[in-house]
A and B are shown apart, each in its own frame.
Chain A
Amino acid sequence: MASIEFRHIQKSFGAVDVIHDMNLTIDDGEFVALLGPSGCGKSTSLFMLAGIYLPSGGDLLFDGHRVNEVEARDRNVGIVFQSYALYPHLSVRENIRFPLRLKKVPAAEAERRIAEAAELVQIAELMERRPSALSGGQQQRVALARALVKDPTLLLLDEPLSNLDATLRLTMRTEIKSLQERLGVTTVLVTHDQIEATTMADRIICMRDGRIEQIGSSDDLYLRPKSLFVASFIGSPPINLIEGQVENGRLTLGECTLSAGNAPIGEVTAGIRPEHLTIGEEGLPGRIVQIEPMGREILYVVDTGIGQLRVLEPGSTATHRSGEQVSIGFAEDNTLVFDNVNGERIADARFSL
Chain B
Amino acid sequence: MADVASLAAAAQGQEHWDRLAARSARERRMRRGFLYVFLILASLPVMVPYFWLGTLAFSAHLSGVDTRVLWPSIFILVPSVLLTWLWAIAARTPRQALIGWAVIWVVAIAIFAVVVGPSLHLGNFRFLYNPNFNAENENIVAAEDNPGFSATSFPWVWTAFANSLIIAGGATLIVIIVASLAGYYISRFQYRFRTTSLAAMLILHAFPATVLLIPIFILMWQLGLLNTLFAIVLVIVGIELPFAVFIMKGFFDAVPWEIEMSALTDGATRRQAFFKVVLPQVVNGMIAVSVFVFIRGWEEFVFVLVLSTQQAKWTMSLYTFFVVEENSLGVDYGLVSAVAVFYILPSFVLYTLAQKYLLQMTVSGVKG
Closest to A14 in B: B190
Residues B258 and A81 in contact, CB atoms below 8 Å apart: yes
> Does residue A72 face the partner (Cβ distance < 8 Å to B)?
yes
Residues B265 and A52 in contact, CB atoms below 8 Å apart: yes
Knowing A88-B281, A89-B280, A89-B281, the reply to whether A150 touches B267 (Cβ < 8 A) is yes
- Distance of A146 Cα from B268 Cα, bound (Å): 14
Knowing A102-B267, A146-B266, A150-B266, the reply to whether A47 touches B280 (Cβ < 8 A) is no
- Distance of A52 Cα from B270 Cα, bound (Å): 11
What chain A residues lie within 8 Å of B264 (beta carbons)?
50-52, 71-73
Minimal beta-carbon separation of B53 from chain A (angstroms):
41
Q: Which chain A residues numbered 321 to 347 have a C-beta less than 8 Å away from chain B?
A: none
Contact for A47 among B261, B266, B276, CB less than 8 A: B261
What chain A residues lie within 8 Å of B262 (beta carbons)?
79, 81, 85, 87, 146
Minimal beta-carbon separation of A55 from chain B (angstroms):
16
> Does residue A78 face the partner (Cβ distance < 8 Å to B)?
yes
> Does residue B224 face the partner (Cβ distance < 8 Å to A)?
no
- Distance of A52 Cα from B260 Cα, bound (Å): 10
> Does residue B272 face the partner (Cβ distance < 8 Å to A)?
yes
Minimal beta-carbon separation of A58 from chain B (angstroms):
21
Q: Which chain B residues numbered 229 to 266 have a C-beta less than 8 Å away from chain A?
A: 256, 258-259, 261-266
Residues B259 and A73 in contact, CB atoms below 8 Å apart: no
Residues A79 and B261 in contact, CB atoms below 8 Å apart: yes
- Distance of A73 Cα from B256 Cα, bound (Å): 19
> Does residue A240 face the partner (Cβ distance < 8 Å to B)?
no
> Does residue A65 face the partner (Cβ distance < 8 Å to B)?
no
Residues A87 and B258 in contact, CB atoms below 8 Å apart: no
Q: A72, A102, A103: which has the most chain B beta carbons within 10 Å? A: A72
> Does residue B182 face the partner (Cβ distance < 8 Å to A)?
no
Closest to A84 in B: B258
Contact for A85 among B259, B267, B272, B276, CB less than 8 A: B259
> Does residue A83 face the partner (Cβ distance < 8 Å to B)?
yes
> Does residue B327 face the partner (Cβ distance < 8 Å to A)?
no
Residues B261 and A87 in contact, CB atoms below 8 Å apart: no
Knowing A87-B277, A89-B280, the reply to whether A99 touches B259 (Cβ < 8 A) is no
Q: Which chain A residues numbered 11 to 70 have a C-beta less than 8 Å away from chain B?
A: 47, 50-52
Contact for A99 among B256, B258, B266, CB less than 8 A: B266
> Does residue A77 face the partner (Cβ distance < 8 Å to B)?
yes
Closest to A49 in B: B265
What chain A residues lie within 8 Å of B256 (beta carbons)?
83, 85
What chain A residues lie within 8 Å of B272 (beta carbons)?
102
- Distance of A99 Cα from B263 Cα, bound (Å): 8
> Does residue A173 face the partner (Cβ distance < 8 Å to B)?
no
Minimal beta-carbon separation of A182 from chain B (angstroms):
22
> Does residue B310 face the partner (Cβ distance < 8 Å to A)?
no
- Distance of A86 Cα from B281 Cα, bound (Å): 12
What chain A residues lie within 8 Å of B258 (beta carbons)?
81-83, 85
What chain A residues lie within 8 Å of B269 (beta carbons)?
71, 73
> Does residue A222 face the partner (Cβ distance < 8 Å to B)?
no
> Does residue A98 face the partner (Cβ distance < 8 Å to B)?
yes
> Does residue A75 face the partner (Cβ distance < 8 Å to B)?
yes
Residues A52 and B266 in contact, CB atoms below 8 Å apart: no
Minimal beta-carbon separation of A117 from chain B (angstroms):
13
- Distance of A81 Cα from B261 Cα, bound (Å): 10
- B109-133 CB mask vs A (1 if < 8 Å, else 0) is 0000000000000000000000000
Residues B277 and A73 in contact, CB atoms below 8 Å apart: no
What chain B residues lie within 8 Å of A72 (beta carbons)?
261, 264-265
- Distance of A89 Cα from B283 Cα, bound (Å): 10
What chain B residues lie within 8 Å of A103 (beta carbons)?
267
- Distance of A269 Cα from B276 Cα, bound (Å): 56
Minimal beta-carbon separation of B341 from chain A (angstroms):
39
- Distance of A167 Cα from B263 Cα, bound (Å): 30
- Distance of A82 Cα from B263 Cα, bound (Å): 15
Minimal beta-carbon separation of A129 from chain B (angstroms):
17
- Distance of A86 Cα from B265 Cα, bound (Å): 13
- Distance of A116 Cα from B259 Cα, bound (Å): 24
Closest to A104 in B: B267
Minimal beta-carbon separation of B300 from chain A (angstroms):
34
Residues B266 and A50 in contact, CB atoms below 8 Å apart: no
What chain A residues lie within 8 Å of B276 (beta carbons)?
98
Closest to B268 in A: A102
Residues A50 and B265 in contact, CB atoms below 8 Å apart: yes
Q: Which chain A residues numbered 96 to 141 have a C-beta less than 8 Å away from chain B?
A: 98-99, 102-103
What chain B residues lie within 8 Å of A87 (beta carbons)?
259, 262-263, 277, 280
Closest to B258 in A: A85
- Distance of A20 Cα from B265 Cα, bound (Å): 25
Knowing A85-B256, A87-B259, the reply to whether A79 touches B268 (Cβ < 8 A) is no
- Distance of A144 Cα from B366 Cα, bound (Å): 35
Closest to A87 in B: B277
- Distance of A141 Cα from B264 Cα, bound (Å): 20
Minimal beta-carbon separation of A291 from chain B (angstroms):
43
Contact for A73 among B267, B280, B281, CB less than 8 A: B267
Residues B265 and A51 in contact, CB atoms below 8 Å apart: yes
What chain B residues lie within 8 Å of A75 (beta carbons)?
265
What chain A residues lie within 8 Å of B263 (beta carbons)?
87, 98
The interface of chain A, by Cβ under 8 A from chain B, is 47, 50-52, 71-79, 81-83, 85-89, 98-99, 102-103, 146, 150
Given contacts A71-B264, A98-B266, A102-B267, 5 further A-B contacts (CB under 8 A): A47-B261, A73-B264, A74-B267, A83-B256, A88-B281
A/B interface sample: 9 pairs, CB < 8 A: A50-B265, A52-B265, A73-B267, A85-B256, A87-B280, A88-B281, A99-B267, A102-B266, A102-B267
In the A-B complex, the 7 residue pairs with the smallest Cβ-Cβ separation, listed nearest first, are: A85-B258, A102-B267, A99-B266, A89-B280, A85-B262, A72-B264, A81-B258
